[in-house]
Chains A and B, each alone.
Chain A
Amino acid sequence: MTGLSVRGLTKVFRTKSGSVHALRGIDMRVEPGEFCVLLGSSGSGKTTLLRCVAGLEKPDSGEIRLGDRIVFSDNPKTFVSAEDRGFGMVFQSYAIWPHMTVFENVALPLLHGKRKLLRQEVRGRVAHALRLVQLEGLQDRPAPQLSGGQQQRVALARALAVNAQALLMDEPLSNLDARLRESVRYEIRELAKKLNSTVLYVTHDQVEAMALADRILLIGEGRLLQSGRPHELYEKPIDPAVAEFLGTMNWLSGKIRERGFVQTELGLLRVHGAEKVGSELLLGIRPEDIRLKPVPSGEINEFRGEIVDNTYLGDHRLCKLKTPGKTMVAKLVGTDMGYGTVHFQVPEERIVVFHPNHKGKEESK
């Protein structure tokens, strides 16, 4: 398996209505055998990046390496075309060739691709790929007669069968229904790990990203915002935008009163690492970190609020807590606390601190 690295990649689309800066200097690596997920909101440039890596789009500047091989570079000018790069790719639309059977779909790249196999080898290879995605027996089914999930598997089998240097996938699960998505997601990861494949996977769904990734590459507006293992991004986002993207945050803005204590909309809050007295901070607290209590326990960072909204979501509830300065969202697992006055605690160690140079999204409330 081969690793992948991208340096200073930029791409501008020039259209009649102006230019779109889709990528503004992306640096990233995917180690051999690593499952990397490109995560970002709609229009952030994920597909563009993936297509540049695949060779379907020509970047404006930067460099792309596949292992040791430079497949794109602006200086000296190098552009290896897509058919010579040797990736396997799964598209959002699956791109199953509708005029062929399942077998033919998987076999075509093996018969006519740059890495041609002998005819007798093809049969075995296709059968093996189909077995991996559990489609044995459907070989001769015409492609249009497959269900969405089966088409998805054929696309995967086709990408696997070429023994690609690395697999590229662009939102391969977004056309499946929620339940199927979860099981196929699991299978894809299993398979990738079993085959020790290098994978670059695009999604805008943070749950999917966390479930799949060895490492998440979060991009926004054509820039890499942060990369790291899922829990690192979730717990230690370096940027309010990252934090916000990975899940709901309660935002508090405050000023350090004295070492370790910050004056916020909730009141005085004890915060780790609040050193410089007088400076401003942005604090984030995840809903599941807020501990609700029917009676005060006298711990530090405890406040009083009123539950004004209480939404049942099966395995948990979302409660809106109204306090004089701020309305917070808390996730409650376990017994319902109804409406009315409650006490809640914000554990000091769970507060995410952003320093003022990170001007991020602040919840307007």
Chain B
Amino acid sequence: MIGPAVGNDTTRPFTGRLKIDARLLLASVGWLPVVLVAGLVVVVVWLSFQVITPGQSANFGWRAYRELYGDPFVYQTLLNTGWFALLSVAVALFFGVVAAWLVERTDLPYKNVLFTLMTTGVLVQGFITAMGWVFLLHPRIGLMNKAIASIHGMEWATVDIATPMGMGVIQGLALAPLAFMMVAATFRSLDPALEEAAAVHGMGLISTLLRVTLPLAFPGILAAGIYISTIGIAAFDVPAIIGLPNRVFMFSTFLYFRVQPEFGAPRYDLAGAFSTLMIFLSLLLSWLYIQVVRYSHRYAVVTGRAYQPKPVELGRTAWLAWVFLGFYLLLGQILPTLVLLWNSLLPYFQPISWSSLDIISFSNYHNLPWSHLLESARNTGILMVSVASLTLAFSVAISWTVTRSDLAGRFVLDAGAFLPHAIPHVILAVGANYVALFLVGKALPIYGTIYILLALYVLAWMSFGTRVLNSAILQVHKELEEVGKVSGIPLLTCLRKILVPLIAPAMVNAWLWMALLSYRELTMASLLVTPHNLTFPVFIWSLWMEGSITRAAAASVLGLACMIPLVALYWVFGRRASGSDTAI
């Protein structure tokens, strides 16, 4: 016995309170969002079989599918979506892979500046870039198009951005930072000895690159490509800003139009049928993605220490690399932002000229509907904090159950938590819209409140939260918790006192990232917003859709300005993101 035998503490009976198994408690908390997501998917599929005839109760049948697949407009939409996704993957990979190689494998000067710009670029809202590009390349009034057309004989060279391919390029520019982060992670995990061996045996830079580095990185690049395609086929921001006003539809805007039609009744059955098709496609892509990722891990080196490989010396070609990168940054971030800024100062959209310098003013800012703006900003602020916190709490429960417990079904739980990664968010939003309006509307009047957005965002970011926490928990030695358990500390106390403090950096990182994702979210909100639960991105978008495009620009500038401190916060506290974990 150690010390004064304090009481008879070895035999003190355990308190007779009703004992709830904390493991089961955690698991149930974890299962809740997973069941809800699965429920939304089921609802969407179920909707597709509904046959609604006015004045009669609903029947079930294949009508929606027959109507859908007999409609040339649907084929056009599918074709649009295909081109759009293809172009966005191509553009994103082109810039992303080159930039990743430059950062991870060469001695490019100022590479951390590039790294910073690229990582924060992930967070720039796609709809802001899209607005900028409309100002630049609008078929009739875009600044660049005007400039091109003003050169005699060059009229043919004007670009129509309101095409699937034009939008694909813009979306690709917006997705390039994500491709960069994923591919950079691949390059980082490649065994540098393989490249060095090639160099030692007399292979030059180019042939090493082509014959060793790229083939080795190929599975990782392929995985990034598949992942970006899943985003591409359902992306909403760019098609909503550029496509909708010009009546060029993609899958996501098709859904939006069927659920929130300008006139007539919503067609949930059609939305459901199209979504069902896309669910299959997305699940297929995700399955492929998982296979490829598994395959690509074969080449990864798992050394504890950071082994610094000798970088490729760019020497005097370094400036060329920066010209390339500058070109990307110009197209992807600088030009669209500048042109937004410029237009936010103009009373109406017009080309740049000396005369327009006389009329610049802050009137757009003055004339913003400030009460709406403040309300939407407040909603967005509440969402950021509550969504990030709740998602984190659910993610801890899920990840702990998956990685640490021996409960049956934990692998199903893990797969379920990955579901929102696979199923496009716009589809979940369709399901949530219907559920809130027609299924639980009476008992739980959450339609038109920010609670519906809160719930949906939590479900949507859950996959991101669990990916980050799974890997964080796996890095904590199991024995650190086990020793607590053996010395009598109850599970929940072990989590609070031991596990959570140890994974705190990852949790802070995930929290900030999810807060930022909630800040920029437009897709799901667009399907669920009413005048009573406006969010800031929807506020900007609705200004745009009603034609107040210079005021929309002003609001966007304000939005970007607000993001700077947020990103800085992320930079200071949360910068641990491993690229492949990042979800949009």
Interface, chain A (partner B; CB < 8 A): 54-56, 58, 81-89, 91-93, 95, 97-99, 108-109, 112-115, 117, 121, 124-125, 128-129, 132, 155, 158-165, 168, 195
Instruction: Decide: A195 and B1 in contact? CB cutoff 8 A.
Output: yes
Known: A83-B490, A85-B486, A158-B483. A125 touches B477 (CB 8 A): no
- B294 in contact (CB, < 8 A): no
In the complex, chain B residues whose CB is within 8 Å of the CB of A95: 477, 479-480, 482-483
Cβ B483 vs Cβ A91 within 8 A: yes
Residue B350 is within 8 A (CB to CB) of chain A in the complex: no
12 pairs of residues in contact across A and B, judged by CB atoms under 8 Å? A87-B486, A88-B487, A98-B502, A112-B497, A114-B490, A115-B10, A115-B488, A121-B6, A125-B6, A129-B3, A159-B487, A195-B2
A113 touching B488, Cβ below 8 Å:
yes
- Contact between B502 and A163, CB atoms less than 8 A apart: no
The interface residues of chain A lying within 8 Å CB-to-CB of B2 are 125, 128-129, 132, 160-161, 163, 195
- Does B357 belong to the interface (CB within 8 Å)? no
B501 interface residue, CB < 8 Å from A?
A: yes
A165 to B1, CA, bound (A): 10
A-facing residues in B459-501 (Cβ within 8 Å): 477, 479-480, 482-491, 493, 497-498, 501
Could you tell me how many residues of chain B have their Cβ less than 8 Å away from some Cβ of chain A? 29
- Choose one: A58, A98, A99, A112; the contact of B493 (CB below 8 Å): A112
Asked, given contacts A97-B480, A108-B484, whether A115 binds B9 with beta carbons under 8 Å apart, the answer is yes
Q: Chain A residues near B442 (CB, 8 Å)?
A: none
With A95-B480, A99-B501 already in contact, the answer to whether A163 and B1 are too (CB < 8 A) is yes
Judge whether A109 and B502 touch: CB under 8 Å.
Answer: no
Given A54-B482, A98-B480, 6 more pairs with CB closer than 8 A? A93-B479, A97-B480, A97-B484, A97-B498, A112-B493, A113-B487
Within 8 A of A (CB), among B1-30: 1-6, 9-10, 12, 14
Cβ contacts under 8 Å, A124 to chain B: 3-4
Q: Given A84-B14, A114-B14, does the pair A56, B3 have CB atoms closer than 8 Å?
A: no
Interface pairs A-B: 9 shortest CB-CB: A113-B488, A109-B487, A114-B488, A128-B3, A95-B479, A95-B483, A89-B486, A91-B479, A82-B485
With A95-B477, A98-B502 given, is the CB distance from A89 to B490 under 8 Å? Answer: no
Q: Are A56 and B485 in contact (CB under 8 A)?
A: yes
Contacts of B487 in A (CB 8 A): 83, 87-89, 108-109, 113, 158-159, 162, 164
Q: Which residue of A is nearest B491, CB measured?
A: A83
Given the complex of chains A and B, what is the CA–CA distance between A162 and B489 in angstroms? Answer: 11
Cβ–Cβ contact B488 & A163, under 8 A: no
Complex formed: what's the CA distance from A318 to B487 in Å?
A: 47
Contacts of A159 in B (CB 8 A): 487
Q: Which of B483, B486, B501 contacts A55 (CB 8 A)?
A: B486
Query: Which among A83, A86, A98, A155 has the greatest number of chain B C-beta atoms within 10 A?
Result: A83
Q: CA–CA, A95 to B477, complex, Å?
A: 8
Interface positions of B (Cβ within 8 A of A) = 1-6, 9-10, 12, 14, 406, 477, 479-480, 482-491, 493, 497-498, 501-502
Residue of A nearest to B483 (CB): A95
Which residue of B is nearest A129, CB measured? B2
Does the CB pair A89–B483 fall under 8 Å?
Answer: yes
Shortest distance from the beta carbon of A99 to any chain B beta carbon, whole Å? 5
Is B9 within 8 A of A117, CB to CB?
yes
Whole-angstrom CA separation of A112 from B489 in the bound complex: 6
In the bound assembly, the distance between CA atoms of A214 and B230 in angstroms comes to 64
Contacts of A98 in B (CB 8 A): 480, 502
- Residue with the greatest number of chain A CB neighbours at <10 A, chosen from B12, B14, B488, B493: B488
Best-surrounded residue of B3, B14, B491 (most CB of chain A within 10 A): B3
Chain A residues contacting B482 (CB-CB under 8 Å) are 54, 56, 82, 89, 91, 95
Contacts of A84 in B (CB 8 A): 14, 488
Smallest distance from the beta carbon of B401 to chain A beta carbons, Å?
Answer: 16
Q: List, in ascending order, chain B residues with CB within 8 A of A81's CB.
A: 485
Q: Which residues of B contact A54 (CB under 8 A)?
A: 482, 486
Q: In whole angstroms, what is the CA distance A161 to B9 when docked?
A: 12
Neighbouring B residues of A99 by C-beta, 8 Å: 501-502
CA distance A216 to B1 in the complex (A): 24
- Smallest Cβ distance from B109 to chain A, in angstroms? 35
Contacts of B6 in A (CB 8 A): 117, 121, 125
Cβ of B1 and Cβ of A83 under 8 Å apart? no
List of B residues within 8 angstroms of A164 by Cβ: 487
Give the distance to chain B from A46, nearest Cβ to Cβ, in Å.
15
Query: Whole-angstrom distance from the CB of B422 to the nearest CB of chain A?
Result: 23
Q: Which residues of B contact A161 (CB under 8 A)?
A: 2
A205 nearest CB across to chain B (Å): 20
CB distance from A79 to the nearest CB of B (A): 11
Smallest CB separation, A117 vs chain B (Å): 6
Distance between B11 CB and nearest chain A CB, rounded to angstroms: 9
Contact status B9-A163, CB under 8 Å: yes
A113–B489 alpha-carbon span in the complex (Å)? 4
Give, as a whole number of angstroms, the nearest-CB distance from A15 to chain B. 13
- Measured CB to CB, the closest approach of chain A to B307, in angstroms, equals 23
Chain A residues contacting B489 (CB-CB under 8 Å) are 83, 108-109, 112-114
Q: Is the CB of A109 within 8 A of B484?
A: yes
Cα of A195 to Cα of B2 in the assembled complex, Å: 7
Q: Which residues of A contact B490 (CB under 8 A)?
A: 83, 112, 114
Query: Which residue of B is nearest A88, CB measured?
Result: B487
Contacts of A162 in B (CB 8 A): 487-488
Most buried by A among B2, B10, B14: B2
Bound together, the chains give a CA A82 to CA B487 distance in angstroms of 8
- Given the complex of chains A and B, what is the CA–CA distance between A112 and B498 in angstroms? 12
CA separation between A158 and B480, bound complex, in Å? 13
Q: Name which residue of chain B comes closest to A84, CB basis.
A: B14
